Amino acid sequence: MSTDDTSGDDQARFHLTRRGLLSGAAALTVATALARPGQAYAQDAQFCASLGWTVWESGRHIVSGYKDAVAKLGGTLTIADANYDVKKQADQIAAFVASKPAAIFITPADAAAIAPAVQAAVASGIPIFCGDSYVPNTTVTSTAMSNNFGLGSYGAQYISDRLNGKGKVAMVCLPSNESWDQRTLGAKSVFVRYPDIQVVSEIAFALGGSTTPRQVVDNILTANPELDAIWCAWDGAASEGTLAIKAANRKVFITGIDGGKQSFEYIKAGSPFALTLAQSFYEMAYMNAFYAHEVIAGRKAPRFVITPSYAVTKESLAGIPLPDTYDQPGEAAKLGWKRVL
């Protein structure tokens, strides 16, 4: 295992101590627990995190959540980036199991594909904590994630309402991860209720493939001259789709899921990017690390933690700087944002 601070295909190791205090508001649960007499935390525990990706806004917030939590609560942390490579992530998990850490954190890029590796990790007796998606056919210690079905349905409802229940819609889906695919199922559960909403195109996008989201949206626009809206399973497609819509000079609006400064910038500027469902990636990671400490101390962890999501539009961004810490507990309330899921 490399101890160099590297990126890309190399594994990066971060040694963190309590002196790196979490700035801003800490999770209420964490703050309350730390204030209780006799609350012990593992200062010398070794933690490992196998992350399916560290790119994009989501990856940056996930890494920050883990680093801040371990800095606050104690221990050392090794982070490995699989960069959407399933075999690489499975190998990382196996290597982490062999190193016998206090707990392993996993953010799956393809949850179903790495299920055997996670099953083996669970069988080793090491506490396993998953973030962003659950892993099927496994019983990990705890999973912190968004309500993906709800994220998909919320965006579809926004589109249906804005079109007054009538129009032509395209969908850019992300089926490679079972949890991400739940967003598509949620969207379809809404569109099917509107007989005058016609889904004219549904594209199953593959991360790591040769086709970009921009090319997908370009093709959708070319094939559908009367299109009204595009629902996207993640903000990467919505951001690139925004550029495609503007280049084609089309009156089409687009929605996404994830959140982050780039998405907020497009939305605030009044571009075709009209809505994102901003997830709490930082809090997913922080809660995983917090409950790992709880388990080490002999206390319980919840099987599921559903972290907050916020509906972000041009109106909710008016009059405020582009937020980057909204997914740290307590920060969204300062912006006047309310949890929708």
For the stretch 15-33, pLDDT in tens is: 343 333 333 333 455 444 4
Domain 12-146+280-307: which CATH number of 3.40.50.2300, 3.55.40.20, 3.30.2010.10, 3.30.1330.10: 3.40.50.2300
> What percent of the chain has pLDDT above 70?
87
Domain 148-279+312-334: which CATH number of 3.40.50.2300, 3.40.50.300, 1.10.3720.10, 3.90.1260.10: 3.40.50.2300
- Residues 120-160 have pLDDT tens digits of 999 999 999 999 999 999 999 999 999 999 999 999 999 99
User: What pLDDT score does 4 carry?
Assistant: 34
pTM of the model: 0.86
For CA atoms 328, 333, 334, 336, the dihedral sign is positive
Q: Work out the mean pLDDT of the chain and round it to a whole number.
A: 89
Name the segment(s) of the chain with CATH classification 3.40.50.2300.
12-146+280-307, 148-279+312-334
What distance in Å separates the CA atoms of residue 206 and residue 187, rounded to the nearest whole number? 19
For CA atoms 263, 25, 60, 309, the dihedral sign is negative
- Residues 240-287 have pLDDT tens digits of 999 999 999 999 999 999 999 999 999 999 999 999 999 999 999 999
What distance in Å separates the CA atoms of residue 239 and residue 217, rounded to the nearest whole number? 10
pLDDT bracket for residue 43 (50, 70, 90): confident
